[in-house]
């Protein structure tokens, strides 16, 4: 009965809209990526306008000027706000895209401490909630969200999606992790990695859909590139310049990672110097089910937690693991150390240790090294 009532309501709304929109032109989205969160979630602050902007109708006598009590304090605060707004408008002069195969990252001539809050604002402005927000480690991660342009949007459907929420669904979700690396005190590398989930139907022998499950889908380098370009524009580069940098031809990457086993011990041999190997291992961790809690570049250590999706799916359900904002499974995950050790000017070795720094010569350690080798070879 509730299903019938809901459909009658939908038909009624459709009838009203059809009569109101006769002769209207079909509307399609020009955006290739436009994410929509689930209903009930609270969005972060909208920073499209400067925080001190006041509408023409507002009366300044009733505006609290950030606690300023004197005219001199008010003038100083106003100058500071104007300077901040000028910095936003002029953007950052030193930006470029670096790439290795299909991997792209942004290099910005600015300290990470100043860049981090701007990138945080960027994700909020694009409609994402942050489930990880760690300025101390330079890591932030968004919640899962749906890419709405995958649904054909006409005027009626667009209105109904806003009115009834989730009347249509793409069956795909994405989340993004951003990691800031300090190349030198005045230069920061920004990496964006994407994870995807796909809703699949489980059918019986007759082909009837019994229920749906969420499964992981491969990472999409092009989605990562889209948001790198948007970030460049947000930081002050023109759209034309950002597109030109992203359109540079992709150079094929030769895999240089090999898994080596010696008895119970195993490690990965990487045919790159430390700086490049450190970067590649970080990207491999971001694209896998690892959570980087901390890192020590000087000693080549990533402190990570690892979630085995197969094991947690059996006990909690993959859907819960994907879309739980609290990420309970990650809290119970085992901790490891991933070590990147230089063995020459153009070679490094990668090891997995337990939380105490002892070699993880176990089937679990071999599984983690195998996973990292696969990612490093892509």
Where in the sequence is the domain holding 327, given as residue range(s)?
Answer: 254-378
Give kind and range of the element (H or E) at residue 190. Answer: strand 187-203
Residue at 212 is within a domain = yes
Tallying the residues shown for the chain, one arrives at 378
Measured between alpha carbons, how far is 271 from 256 in angstroms, rounded to an integer? 5
- Asked whether the beta carbons of 205 and 183 are under 8 A apart, the reply is no
Cα separation of 368 and 267, whole Å?
10
User: pLDDT tier at 150 (50, 70, 90 boundaries)?
Assistant: low
Strands 301-306 and 209-217 come out as unpaired
Measured CA to CA, the distance from residue 45 to residue 335 in angstroms comes to 34
Q: Write the pLDDT tens digit of every residue in 85-116.
A: 444 444 566 899 998 877 889 999 999 999 99
Long-range contacts of 286-289 (CB under 8 A, 24+ apart): 286/177, 286/179, 286/191, 286/193, 287/193, 287/195, 287/219, 287/375, 288/371, 288/372, 288/375
- Please state the rounded mean pLDDT for residues 255-282: 90
Q: Is residue 218 part of a domain?
A: yes
pLDDT band at 333 (very low <50, low <70, confident <90, very high): confident
**Global confidence as pTM:** 0.67
Radius of gyration of the chain (CA): 24
Residue where a domain stops, chosen among 251, 278, 294 = 251
Looking at residue 309, which CATH number applies to its domain? 3.30.310.170
Counted domains in the chain:
2
* Burial of residue 161, with CB atoms counted within 10 A of its CB: 0-12 exposed, 13-18 middle, 19 or more buried: middle
- H helix or E strand, kind and range, residue 107: strand 103-108
Task: Give a yes or no: residue 324 inside a domain.
Answer: yes
Are 350 and 366 members of one domain?
Answer: yes
One domain, residues 93 and 241 = yes
């Amino acid at each position: 009965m509730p299903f019938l009532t809901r459909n009658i309501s939908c038909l009624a709304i459709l009838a009203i809209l059809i009569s109101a929109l006769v002769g209207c032109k079909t509307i399609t989205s020009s955006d290739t990526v436009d994410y929509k969160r689930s209903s009930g979630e609270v969005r972060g602050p909208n920073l499209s306008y400067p925080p001190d902007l006041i509408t023409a109708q507002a009366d300044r006598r009733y505006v609290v000027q950030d606690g300023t009590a004197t005219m001199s304090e008010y003038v100083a605060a106003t100058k500071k706000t104007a300077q901040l707004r000028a910095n936003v408008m002029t953007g950052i002069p030193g930006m470029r895209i670096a790439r290795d195969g299909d991997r792209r990252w942004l290099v910005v001539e600015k300290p990470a401490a100043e860049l981090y809050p701007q990138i945080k604002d960027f994700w909020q402005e694009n409609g994402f909630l942050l489930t990880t927000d760690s300025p101390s480690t330079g890591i932030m991660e968004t919640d899962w969200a749906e890419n709405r342009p995958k649904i054909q949007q006409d005027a009626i459907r667009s209105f109904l999606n806003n009115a009834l929420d989730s009347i249509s669904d793409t069956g795909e979700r994405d989340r993004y992790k951003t990691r800031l690396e300090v190349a030198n005190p005045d230069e920061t590398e920004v990496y964006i990695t994407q994870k995807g989930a796909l809703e699949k139907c489980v059918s019986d022998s007759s082909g009837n859909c019994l229920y749906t499950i969420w499964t992981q889908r491969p990472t999409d380098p092009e989605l990562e590139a889209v948001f790198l370009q948007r970030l460049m524009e947000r930081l002050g580069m023109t759209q034309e310049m950002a597109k030109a940098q992203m359109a540079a031809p992709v150079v094929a990457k030769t895999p240089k990672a090999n898994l080596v086993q010696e008895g119970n011990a195993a490690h990965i041999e990487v045919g790159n110097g430390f700086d490049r190997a450190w970067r590649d291992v970080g990207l491999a961790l971001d694209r896998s089910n690892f959570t980087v809690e901390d890192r020590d570049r000087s000693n080549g250590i990533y402190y990570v937690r690892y979630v085995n999706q197969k094991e947690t799916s059996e006990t909690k359900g993959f859907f819960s693991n994907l879309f739980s904002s609290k990420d309970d499974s990650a809290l119970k995950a085992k901790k490891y150390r991933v070590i990147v050790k230089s063995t020459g000017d153009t070679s490094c070795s990668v090891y997995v240790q337990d939380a105490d720094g002892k070699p993880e010569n176990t089937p679990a350690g071999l599984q983690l090294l195998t996973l990292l080798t696969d990612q490093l070879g892509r």
